[in-house]
């Protein structure tokens, strides 16, 4: 079996449902130490994290615990070993943690998101180091088992520890499944920010037949909510669509049909571009609520800042490598949800996401084209060559 495909199968066999790692990182560390990486376990809470680093010129390369040089820029591969739950296993055509090849596709939970990418990263480094053992700069791996879960003890904590240790990441390739129809057709060079809120509007509970003795918070809230839905938050830009405001839940009432409730709860979310900040969104929202004279409280939750990696060394290396391997011109995109890139980009790192086709991620019978995995490894290897060879 082709080596990238074989390694992906080994990873899929490990049932690493978030936040479990199921020794996936140990397997990756074994491969990385064999080619001169220093591997450091960085657990936080129940979450396993792996930081691995290899220096090129002038560095010792004797495996775990060896002293390392820190000269030159660093390219980091970032990803996660955890996967989402399988859903009813009886609905899978083959067991979700038994990798199965069928009609040119590799089936298994995590095949596309993102154990296939992890295998391609490892093989890319093995081949690159074998050909260029004295490469300039450094190569790193930042791997977590907390991407599909709460994402509080994973990448964000490792990045904080790296910053505290004075380690700066120059370029980062996240292995999220970015492709839409064919491998490499889309690269994510940014993501929208995500700002959520729980709004509580208070009124006075009373009998529905005597509204003059009550104050209906639902009626109070509706004009303000209408104003929020009509607000133009920004116009977007060349990379981002306009900021979106969406209400996901409204909850009020006591369970009785003849009672005006004392409060109503509204859950909403902004997916925002780089044209506006989360601070501006909070302020403008509260200005609208205040203008409607509401008695309210609001709890904000910032899941991630918007980030953008414009044209530069990393983007150009990815575009050229995809062209060489796949013979296509890739599209730069910021569409979709959030990723762990949101924790890395604020440190000043150039970040992009490149991975397999995402059509089956999180679904029953998740799969990836088997021959895409060695091609993805070739793309990753090409990026390393363009960034780390003199």
Give binding residues for Zn(2+) as ranges: 80, 113, 148, 176, 362
Check: CB of residue 187 under 8 Å from CB of residue 178: yes
Cα separation, 68 vs 326, in Å, equals: 36
Report CA-CA distances (Å) from 314 to 180, 304, 353: 21, 22, 11
The C-alpha atoms of residue 5 and residue 106 are separated, in whole angstroms, by: 8
**Helix, strand, coil abundance in the chain, percent, nearest 5:** 30, 25, 40
Indicate if 226 belongs to the active site.
Answer: no
- Catalytic residue (one of 20, 33, 53, 82): 82
The question of whether 82 is a catalytic residue gets the answer yes
Catalytic residue among 20, 21, 126, 147: 147
- Numbered residues of the known binding site: 80, 113, 148, 176, 362
How far apart (Å, rounded) are the C-alpha atoms in residues 80 and 162? Answer: 17
C-alpha separations of 92 from 11, 108, 275 in Å: 18, 9, 43
Torsional sign, CA 247, 342, 127, 51: negative
Two structure tokens written together for 264: 């109503």
Strand partners of residue 102: 105
Catalytic residues: 82, 147
């Amino acid at each position: 079996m082709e080596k990238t495909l074989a390694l992906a199968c080994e990873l899929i066999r490990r049932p690493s449902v978030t936040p479990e790692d199921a020794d996936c990182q140990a397997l990756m560390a074994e491969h990385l130490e064999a080619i001169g990486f220093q591997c450091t376990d960085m657990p936080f809470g129940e979450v396993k994290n792996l930081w691995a680093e290899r220096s090129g010129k002038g560095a010792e390369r004797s495996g775990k615990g060896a002293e390392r040089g820190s000269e030159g820029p660093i390219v980091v591969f970032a990803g996660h070993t955890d996967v989402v739950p399988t859903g009813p296993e009886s609905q899978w055509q083959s067991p979700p943690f038994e990798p199965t090849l069928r009609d040119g596709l590799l089936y298994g939970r995590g095949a596309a998101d993102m154990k296939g990418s992890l295998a391609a990263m490892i093989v890319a480094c093995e081949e690159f180091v074998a050909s260029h053992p004295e490469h300039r700069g450094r190569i790193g791996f930042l791997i977590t088992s907390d991407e599909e879960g709460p994402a509080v003890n994973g990448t964000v904590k490792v990045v904080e520890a790296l910053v505290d240790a004075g380690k700066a990441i120059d370029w980062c390739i996240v292995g999220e499944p970015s492709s839409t129809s064919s491998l490499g057709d889309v690269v994510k060079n940014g993501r929208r920010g995500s700002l959520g809120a729980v709004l509580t509007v208070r009124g006075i509970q009373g009998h529905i037949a005597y509204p003059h003795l009550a104050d209906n918070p639902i009626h109070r809230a509706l004009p303000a909510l209408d104003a929020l839905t009509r607000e133009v938050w920004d116009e977007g830009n060349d990379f981002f669509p306009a900021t979106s405001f969406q209400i996901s839940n409204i909850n009020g009432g006591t369970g009785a049909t003849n009672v005006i409730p004392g409060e109503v709860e509204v859950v909403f979310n902004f997916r925002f571009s780089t044209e506006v900040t989360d601070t501006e969104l909070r302020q403008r929202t509260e200005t609208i609520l205040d203008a409607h004279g509401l008695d309210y409280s609001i709890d904000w939750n910032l899941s991630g800042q918007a980030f953008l990696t414009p044209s530069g060394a990393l983007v150009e290396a990815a575009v050229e490598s995809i062209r060489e391997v796949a013979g296509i011109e890739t599209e730069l995109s910021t569409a979709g949800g959030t990723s762990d890139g949101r924790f890395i980009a604020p440190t000043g790192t150039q970040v992009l996401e490149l991975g397999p086709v995402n059509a089956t991620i999180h679904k029953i019978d998740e799969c990836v084209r088997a021959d895409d995995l060695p091609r993805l490894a070739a793309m990753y290897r090409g990026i390393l060559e363009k960034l780390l060879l003199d």
